[in-house]
């Protein structure tokens, strides 16, 4: 192909092209990879069995994204309001005790 284009230099892939190429290759060969993995695990390969058990564990993900500034501010205002209400209740209770 390079000869047809008249290029003599090797063309290097960009990182995004490398990732895309890897994803396409893995997607194309995925069933064979899984089959080989299962066969090795059945034969008692310890690393394959360990990896299989790790893959079967549920994935715990944190929150999908961090709280925004507006949400943090809103929560702070609500917290302050609750604290003020609690302080008023304590003051009323202290006044009734006298």
Q: What stretches in the chain show pLDDT beneath 70? A: 1-9, 62-64, 97-98
- Which pLDDT value is given to residue 1? 44
- Pair 42, 35: CB distance under 8 Å: no
pLDDT for 9: 67
Residue 80's pLDDT is: 96
Distance between CA atoms of residues 19 and 90, nearest Å: 61
Residue whose structure tokens are 């917290």: 79
pLDDT for 35 equals 86
Which residue, among 26, 34, 32, has the nearest Cα to 52 in the 3D structure? 34
For residue 41, give every residue at least 6 positions away whose Cβ sits within 8 Å of its Cβ, in sequence order, or none. Answer: 48, 49, 52
- CA-based radius of gyration for the chain: 30
How many residues can be counted in the chain? 98
Q: What is the pLDDT of residues 77-89, one digit of tens each?
A: 999 999 999 999 9
pLDDT at site 74: 92
How high is the pLDDT of residue 43? 84
pLDDT at 98: 59
Q: Tell if the pTM clears 0.85, that is, is over it.
A: no
> Cα separation of 73 and 79, whole Å?
10
């Amino acid at each position: 192909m390079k000869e047809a284009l008249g290029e003599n230099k090797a063309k290097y892939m960009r990182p995004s092209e490398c990732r895309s190429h890897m994803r396409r290759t893995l997607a194309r060969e995925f069933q064979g990879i899984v089959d080989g993995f299962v066969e090795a695990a059945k034969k008692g390969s310890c690393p394959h069995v360990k990896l299989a058990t790790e893959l079967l564990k549920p994935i715990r993900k944190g929150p999908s994204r961090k709280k925004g500034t507006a949400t943090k501010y809103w929560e702070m205002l609500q917290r302050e309001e609750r604290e003020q209400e609690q302080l008023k209740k304590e003051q009323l209770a202290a006044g009734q005790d006298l």
